[in-house]
Amino acid sequence: MKRLNLAQRIWLSFFLLVFVVGLFVVIIYPLSIREALTEESYKMIEEQQERIIKGPTSPKEELPESNLNFIERREAIRSVGHLLLGNQSYLLEGDFVPAEVQHTIWEKAISQQENNERYQLVYRDASLFYVIEKIELNGNNAFLVSYMWDTYRNQLVQQLWKRLIWIFGFGILISIIPALWLSGYLRKPLKALGERFEQIGHRNWKESFRWTEDQDFQKLSDQFERMRQNLIRNDDSQKRFIQHASHELKTPIMTIKSYAQSVKDGVLPEKDLEGMMNIIIEQSDRMEERVKDMLYFSKLDTLVDLKPKKSEIQFGSLVENVVDRFWYQREDLDIQIKGESVTFKGDPDQWEVVFENLIQNANRYAKTYIKISAVQLAEKTEMVIKNDGERIPLEDLERIFEPFQKSQKGQFGLGLAIVKRIVELHNGTVELHNHEDGVVIRITV
């Protein structure tokens, strides 16, 4: 089956709509108007009959003269015929009608309960409308029968059908105009969007797409723009990952390679075999840590437009769990925790990563203490980590949270970038300041 394009579908939809509406009008409307015309025919018969009954003389004398017989009246439009029937079914006056018709009318008349009633019969494939009125003529009971063929009604219905068919055809032709307009209206933004997708298919996502002429297409363009921004972020993240991975992993790989080659060649420069193996293991651990950080940071780039899965987190439990992992590395430090009962909403796994990086950094640089605290401020929570380590140079403070920054000790610098990204995902802020004793990091969320 041939697939239709958008313009063809729109045209087909318009034609089907006009066809269904037209078909409904052409068929249903004439049927409904047919009933109205039938009612109109009976009213015309009753008006003529009333003139005869209320005339100044007797109904017999008031019957209008006519040269038309019963059959000829069928071809005459709006022609009403009359006849008077006596009490014994004989014709007293009026149009001559076939015997079978007169007999049928007579049977209706003698069984009629009301003074005036409407009837209809079919004779030679045509409908005859007639009204029987009980009257008194010369002291005897009689029946005034007035009738009219359905010619008037049928001709009006046929004329109406013809006009509706013309209107229907004209409507189909007119529907081409809105179909053309709607086709162009819909194809324009879709064509532009298709061109942008074509560009993205060739990894060219620098050009933005914004459509403001229609609310639905604007929503579609906004979704496309978010997708484009995500692709840009992912692409930039991938490029940074490759660039910095090659740079940061180059040194430990070269170290491992040189020591492994020395072992292979039987050359042990300045160290015994066990010491060289320890260096290889240490460099391998460093590479593992760096790769893990880079992968996690890349993952955070893809979560920018997603809301974290938040649950209630108790500050004390979270921090104590992290501190226990690093305490053995620096048993000489005095680690103080305040505000253990404070709670806040967030993703527990992500906040655990935040405090792992912050406490690990503080553990690395602190001289004698690390102070960790939390307080509730109206609708927000403020968390502070303070240590008495070396103060950070002012020129480094502005870019301290940028990815792949290194400290004065040459340590790998993705930790604070990860912290900042997670805090921002929770609509919070993070700041780092020097204080008189060392460094303080303040998180508000």
Token pair 């692409």: residue: 235
Predicted TM-score (pTM) of the model is 0.45
Pairing of strands 140-149, 91-94: unpaired
pLDDT for residue 374: 93
Residue 111's SS3 state is coil
How does DSSP classify residue 138? T
Q: From 181, 140, 161, 166, select the one nearest 30 (Cα to Cα).
A: 161
Counting every residue, how long is the chain?
445
pLDDT for residue 52: 87
Please answer whether residues 441 and 432 qualify as being in contact, where contact means their C-beta atoms are separated by less than 8 angstroms: yes
pLDDT for residue 57: 83
pLDDT for residue 85: 85
Which residues on neighbouring strands pair with residue 122, listed in sequence order? 127
Calculated CA dihedral for residues 256, 259, 264, 270, nearest 10 degrees: -170
Domains and CATH numbers, the chain: 6-156 (3.30.450), 239-299 (1.10.287.130), 311-444 (3.30.565.10)
pLDDT for residue 217: 65
Angle at the Cα of 254 from the Cα atoms of 409 and 329, rounded to 5 degrees = 40
The rounded average pLDDT for each run of 10 residues, N- to C-terminus, in the chain (445 residues) is 60 70 67 80 90 84 80 83 78 82 88 90 90 85 89 81 76 71 69 71 68 65 75 71 67 75 68 72 74 70 67 91 82 89 90 88 88 90 92 81 64 75 88 89 92
pLDDT for residue 99: 85
The Cα–Cα gap between 63 and 50 comes to 11
197 membership: H or E segment, kind and range: helix 151-201
Token pair 């930039």: residue: 236
pLDDT for residue 68: 80
Token pair of 74, please?
């069928």
